[in-house]
Structure 1
Amino acid sequence: MGFICKLKKFAFGREEENIIKVKRFMHSALLPKMGSADAAGMDFYQPESVVIEPHQTQYVTLGLALEIPKGYMLMLAPRSSMSKTPLVIPNSFGVIDADYRGEIKGIFKNTSDNAYLIKKGDRLLQGILVPVGALKLLEVDELTETARGSGGIGSTGK
């Protein structure tokens, strides 16, 4: 059974709506929801309880697939409340490309010495719709000079 989530975005001062088609893989999967009218992302609900053992990294299904609009990606980022848990997202955030149609999963690492229970209904992840552009690379012998130049990490101050 399919569902539709509507996300509002603002482009050049005008409000537009993006529609994301949603497919449930589990009857217990809840549709993502915006936490407030001006929230940057939509919260994903955990469809079933899962235990992550100490110091283990585990894929955790969200029970949904999404049809991301062309020209966008969905960034799966931790909600701020996840900082109250021993869980981290090992790769910082997840990227759901517009052409991916599989089930969405989060990746969590339990940094504690104790097993951690993610309860059914917990909201640990948020999805943020991000515009992406097509890129073309041009190989050159030299790059344009800038004041920073090749100064790397920490080169612009502390």
Structure 2
Amino acid sequence: MTKERSDPENSKYISDNEWMIRTSSTYEGEYKECSSIKARLHQYFIFGKTIDCSQWKRDSLNSSKWEKSRDEKAAIELINSEKARRRERLIAHAKNDVWERRSSPPENWNAPLPEHILESYKSTYLNTKAEELRGEIPRSTDATMTSLCVIM
């Protein structure tokens, strides 16, 4: 038997997009979640019908083929499926006409905080820990952590 030679275009496409391919256990988990009784009830409540979970199953099988035998056809199908899933997820974002898109951050995005906020920050746990890490104050033992230990 001779092993089929891979198409250079397919290899380039796969190598550029391989980061999109998840593990087969991830796809299998998504399929099980999608087809569970709890998910079916939720789908019926939200959409008025159950949704088709077969794409998750196909993706699981393709991912398994890719992991086991580096099947290029399976990888391409997976990548295309992930791109379609991503496109579907971003439709609402692309069609959003409520918010005005910015090309740069606001002028004063890094302006100093008002004095009253800085004053209230001084007495916070976060500030105390930040000062400890910077070495400005001695490290303290956290009493709350020792009081949680109970031997029965």
Richer in strand (by share):
1
Give the greater-gyration-radius structure (CA). 2
- TM-score higher than 0.5: no
TM-score (norm 1): 0.20
Return the structure number with greater relative CO, CA threshold 8 A, min gap 6.
Answer: 1
Larger relative helix fraction: 2
